[in-house]
């Protein structure tokens, strides 16, 4: 089959890789001059297989009044009165509890486990430099109550084959001595030794080049898909500024723009942008080796080669991709305060912002859509780097 993949982010390149391995003729279309410049460019870098809790969860619900009043520093929400946004918000709130929340977590754990194996297969066949390090991940909890709750969830994760361990404060310090310099209090943590870190943007660009140079994938950079083309109710290709490109099937892997393109054939996708920020600076010898997540501050740290990256914030503040200078200052002040010795923050790169393509449940849309000829691989939210390889491989298995 000839298949067009729209979007050269990590999800698009992973989709193209497994579709090509399955023997399809693949064309990959990216609007930017090169791949991996969307939200895949500067994300937190964590391959967080054992920690895939969706944003929609009971703890977010309890903070909801503070978020609405603008009193929560990690999550910001600007009320958006578009009908689609209201529907998304209501669905998001329904996914915060009970069966729905448990089902989302289960789906994400299964996909994360597939993804862990798929990335290992890919890197075994294609040696890509992306500062990969299988260093494990430690999630810090401020109080014993939070740690105990996380310990109960760890039991569920073990049932899915993940290795996770509850550590008290002393064992966290023994595992990661850099935490002696960490200024936020923590009672202990949950350690996932099989989690890893790597530079998602570098991986995406490297795989894009490999698809083009070694796998015979037709790559089209600086090319924007404006519409989907249909004949008799079936998607038969895409419309570009330069004309029509035909195929037997089209995959939407274009992040937050997937809902706009789907709408051109009357399909509604519930994907909203949730903006986050990251900062990258030269790592100092006192930098943590293990990937860290501070649950209370909702900030993550990943050691990527000679650099330390910190990422934070979830802002539902519309569709503009620009960096809000107040948020940029807040992030810099936060990392300087929390981990002053870990990196040379004075030499940090400019603060980066990206928009997580988020479904209400946090579970991505993978597989055939209601419109014949149109497939989806979109809506990976805050976990697209972790889930991309599993999602790409799963999608390829769904296309005959």
Ligand X SMILES: Cc1cc2nc3c(=O)[nH]c(=O)nc-3n(C[C@H](O)[C@H](O)[C@H](O)COP(=O)(O)OP(=O)(O)OC[C@H]3O[C@@H](n4cnc5c(N)ncnc54)[C@H](O)[C@@H]3O)c2cc1C
Asked if 146 interacts with ligand X (CB under 6 A), we say no
Judged by CB under 6 A, the residue of 136, 146, 357, 362 near ligand X is 357
**Dihedral angle, C-alpha 25, 218, 357, 375, nearest 10 °:** -20
Q: Smallest distance, Å, CB 48 to ligand X?
A: 5
Are 208 and 28 in contact by the 8 Å Cβ rule? The answer is yes
Asked if 44 interacts with ligand X (CB under 6 A), we say yes
Region 47-86 residues binding ligand X, contact defined as CB under 6 A? 48
Judged by CB under 6 A, the residue of 32, 131, 194, 344 near ligand X is 32
DSSP codes of every residue in 202-262: HHHHHHHHHHHHHS--EEE-S--EEEEEEETTEEEEEEETTEEEE-SEEEE--GGGHHHHH
Judged by CB under 6 A, the residue of 17, 19, 26, 43 near ligand X is 43
Evaluate the CA torsion angle 7, 9, 12, 17 in order and state its sign.
positive
Asked if 202 interacts with ligand X (CB under 6 A), we say no
Region 249-268 residues binding ligand X, contact defined as CB under 6 A? 253-255, 257, 261
Q: Which is nearer to ligand X, 65 or 266 (CB)?
A: 266
Q: What are 353's strand-pairing partners?
A: 277
CB atoms within 10 A of CB 73: 14
Q: Smallest distance, Å, CB 47 to ligand X?
A: 7
Judged by CB under 6 A, the residue of 54, 198, 382, 390 near ligand X is 382
Structure tokens at 276: 């986050």
Total residues at the site for ligand X (CB under 6 A)?
A: 42
Q: Smallest distance, Å, CB 86 to ligand X?
A: 23
Structure tokens at 53: 């809790």
Dist CA 320 CA 288 (whole Å): 33
Dist CA 82 CA 291 (whole Å): 38
Which residues of this protein are in contact with ligand X, per CB under 6 A? 6-12, 29-32, 37-40, 43-46, 48, 224-225, 253-255, 257, 261, 276-278, 300, 311, 354, 356-357, 380-386
């Amino acid at each position: 089959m000839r298949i067009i993949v729209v979007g050269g982010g990590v999800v698009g390149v992973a989709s193209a890789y497994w579709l090509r391995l399955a023997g399809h003729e693949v064309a990959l279309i990216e609007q930017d001059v090169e791949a991996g410049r969307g939200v895949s460019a500067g994300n937190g870098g964590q391959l967080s297989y054992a920690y895939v809790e969706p944003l929609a969860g009971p703890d977010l619900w309890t903070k909801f009044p503070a978020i609405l009043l603008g009193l929560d520093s990690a999550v910001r929400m600007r009320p958006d009165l578009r009908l689609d946004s209201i529907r998304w918000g209501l669905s998001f709130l329904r996914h915060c509890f009970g069966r729905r929340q448990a089902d989302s977590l289960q789906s994400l754990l299964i996909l994360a486990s597939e993804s862990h194996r798929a990335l290992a297969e890919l890197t075994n066949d294609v040696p890509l430099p992306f500062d990969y390090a299988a260093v494990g991940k430690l999630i810090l909890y401020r109080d014993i109550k939070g740690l105990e709750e996380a310990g109960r969830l760890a039991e569920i994760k073990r049932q899915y084959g993940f290795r996770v361990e509850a550590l008290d404060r002393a064992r966290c310090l023994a595992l990661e001595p850099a935490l002696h310099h960490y200024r936020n209090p923590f009672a202990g943590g949950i350690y996932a030794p099989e989690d890893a870190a790597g530079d998602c943007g570098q991986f995406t660009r490297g795989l894009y080049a490999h698809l083009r140079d070694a796998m015979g994938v037709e790559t089209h950079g600086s090319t924007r898909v404006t519409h989907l083309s249909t004949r008799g109710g079936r998607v038969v290709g895409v419309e570009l500024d330069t004309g029509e490109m035909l195929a037997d099937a089209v995959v939407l892997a274009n992040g937050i723009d997937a809902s706009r393109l789907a709408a051109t054939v009357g399909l509604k996708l519930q994907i909203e942008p949730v903006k986050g920020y990251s900062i990258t600076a030269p790592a100092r010898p006192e930098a943590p080796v293990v990937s860290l997540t501070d649950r209370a501050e909702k900030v993550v740290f990943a050691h990527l080669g000679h650099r330390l990256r910190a990422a934070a914030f979830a802002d539902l503040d519309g569709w503009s991709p620009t960096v809000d200078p107040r948020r940029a200052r807040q992030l810099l002040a936060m990392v300087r305060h929390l981990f002053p010795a870990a990196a040379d923050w004075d030499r940090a790169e400019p603060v980066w912002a990206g928009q997580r393509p988020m479904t209400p449940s946090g579970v991505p849309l993978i597989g055939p859509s209601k419109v014949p000829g149109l497939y989806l691989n979109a809506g990976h939210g805050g976990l697209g780097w972790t889930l991309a390889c599993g999602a790409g491989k799963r999608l390829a298995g769904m296309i005959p």
